Structure 1
Amino acid sequence: MRRRATIFCPYDTSLPEHALAQAHGTHPVVGSPDGYRHSPPYTDPYAVCGDCDLPLPEPEDPLVLHFGQRDLGKIRDTVGDWGESAGLWCTADTAVAEVRDRGRLTDPLTGRRRPDPSSPGGGRGVWMMHQFCDLVKIRTRPSGLVVRLHVALE
């Protein structure tokens, strides 16, 4: 059963043009002081998610920490089973942390919806990353995931 819903998403029109173009691509209808109109750049949400799964550029000078089971303490053994590498670096205005692992995501909206706090299945970690960080980028590779967390330094 489908239900109709109307959701209002306010955007600052002084944002850069590319940011506004992305917003128009994810909204079927856009509004202005003159009224509402169809958004011609609107596209299928799954196509938008696919565009967001392009490889991330390599950092200029990262500190990359490769780790395995023998290198970590007992508590980190589980992470060592799944983890591939971790890195930290700063740009002029942002601290960035990256983790590469053999994980998989089946839901392109993972972390975008608030999970049930009483759920025994977890699902709170990625949601919390989105709450604490200024930007979260997740990319799928053939061998697993790349997760980058960005936090503004100012």
Structure 2
Amino acid sequence: MNSPRTPRPGGAAHAHHLLFYGSDEQFLAAALPFADDGLSAGESVFIATSRHNAALLRRHLGRQAAQVTFAPAHWHRSPAQALLAFHDRAHTTLGPSRVLGETPWVGLSEDQAREWTRYESLLNLALASTGAWHLCPYDTRALPSGVLHAAQLTHPALTTGTNHRPNPAHVNPEEFSAACDSVPLPDPPTGCAEFRFDGSRQLAELREFTARLARAAALPPERVDSLLVCVDEAAANAVRHGAKGGCCRIWTTPEEVFCEVTDPHGSLNTALAGYLPPVTAQLDGRGLWIIRQLSDAADMRSTPRGTTIRIRMSRRRTPTPP
């Protein structure tokens, strides 16, 4: 297939382009030259999209499809894990690379959609100066207006596939992430299980309390272990940097186990906390990053009343993250 060439944006900085498409033809008109030209330039090309669009690309790329890496089905398991996976891929790939990454928006709750829009914004920080070029397709036929509007705030550039231009609606990633945290967390249900701890001597009891309730909720064993690490990190953070103690509350829904650790005197800039991989030479800051990697979602809020870390674990078995 002869397609118009897509010139690579200048410089070594990360390029992050938003593509709105309303038909298979519009998707292919941008995605094919994007992949085609990357292969011709000897660049790594990685595709993480829907089954339908992946099949379209395989068919139209023909023999070239064998040179493209297609993501496993569970690549977008959680925003934090996808952010790390793309970060690691960009930093371990020699030379420039291209990624066509399409977030699976359909069927997400409002909270889940908010975290995935935050992920799109923070990609700009995680991949800065890597030479990675991300093309993010959004299907205008299937996606709600709120998702389409948010996409315009999280991508610094717009594209049709052959024409790239700056996006005047783009919002600074830290400002966008802070705005996500302006949504208050719902109160825990009345009567949920509660454990108050005061100092590091009670952390072992806190782990036993968490493990007992997690197992009673039939949380898969590997998920119980992950939850214990998350709770330990959140509580240790309160002991070391906050009020020297706090409160842990646990409750369940048919789908998830919620575990909330509150530090009444803690203060935290939650906009970027735990989202970007910590610097290797520094030990501080790893706890929040570990929580985001091991949980299915983690909501963090700081107010004059302290800091709350709410950890969510799916009660279903989930595939190993990429």
Q: C-alpha distance in 1, partners of 2:174/2:200?
A: 40
User: For 1:61-110, what per-residue CA distance to the aligned partner results, in whole angstroms no more than 9, with x for missing partners?
Assistant: 452425243xx772549739433321111122111111111222247312
Structure 2 contact 259–311 (Cα < 8 Å) conserved: yes
User: For 1:37-60, what per-residue CA distance to the aligned partner results, in whole angstroms no more than 9, with x for missing partners?
Assistant: 554643233432332222211133
Hey, what does 1:116 align to over in structure 2? 279
Q: TM-score, normalised by structure 1?
A: 0.73
Hey, what does 1:28 align to over in structure 2? 156
The verdict on how the C-alpha distance between 1:90 and 1:47 changes in structure 2, with shifts beyond 3 A counting, is same
Between structure 1 and structure 2, the one with the greater Rg is 2
Letter in 1 for 2:257: A
Letter in 1 for 2:14: T
Q: C-alpha distance in 1, partners of 2:147/2:301?
A: 20
Selected match of 1:60 from 181, 186, 189:
189
The verdict on how the C-alpha distance between 1:14 and 1:35 changes in structure 2, with shifts beyond 3 A counting, is farther
Q: C-alpha distance in 1, partners of 2:303/2:105?
A: 35
Q: C-alpha distance in 1, partners of 2:178/2:158?
A: 22
Q: Structure 1 regions of 5+ residues with no counterpart?
A: none
| 1:74 maps onto 2:74 in alignment | no
Hey, what does 2:313 align to over in structure 1? 151
Aligned length: 149
Structure 1 contact 87–99 (Cα < 8 Å) conserved: yes
Tell me the CA shift for residue 117 of structure 1.
3.9
Identity rate, percent: 26
Hey, what does 2:255 align to over in structure 1? 93
Q: Secondary structure at the match of 2:311?
A: strand
Q: C-alpha distance in 2, partners of 1:67/1:122?
A: 25
Selected match of 2:172 from 35, 44, 51:
44
Q: Secondary structure at the match of 1:50?
A: helix
The verdict on how the C-alpha distance between 1:75 and 1:99 changes in structure 2, with shifts beyond 3 A counting, is closer
Decide which moves more: 108-117 or 72-81: 72-81
The verdict on how the C-alpha distance between 1:47 and 1:123 changes in structure 2, with shifts beyond 3 A counting, is closer
The verdict on how the C-alpha distance between 1:75 and 1:93 changes in structure 2, with shifts beyond 3 A counting, is closer
Hey, what does 1:12 align to over in structure 2? 103
Structure 2 contact 178–270 (Cα < 8 Å) conserved: no
Q: Structure 2 regions of 5+ residues with no counterpart?
A: 1-10, 17-99, 107-142, 204-234, 317-322
The verdict on how the C-alpha distance between 1:27 and 1:44 changes in structure 2, with shifts beyond 3 A counting, is same
Q: C-alpha distance in 2, partners of 1:94/1:32?
A: 40
| 1:105 maps onto 2:268 in alignment | yes
Letter in 2 for 1:109: L
Q: TM-score, normalised by structure 2?
A: 0.39
Tell me the CA shift for residue 116 of structure 1.
3.1
Q: C-alpha distance in 2, partners of 1:100/1:74?
A: 17
CA RMSD of superposed structures (Å): 3.3
Q: C-alpha distance in 2, partners of 1:44/1:94?
A: 32
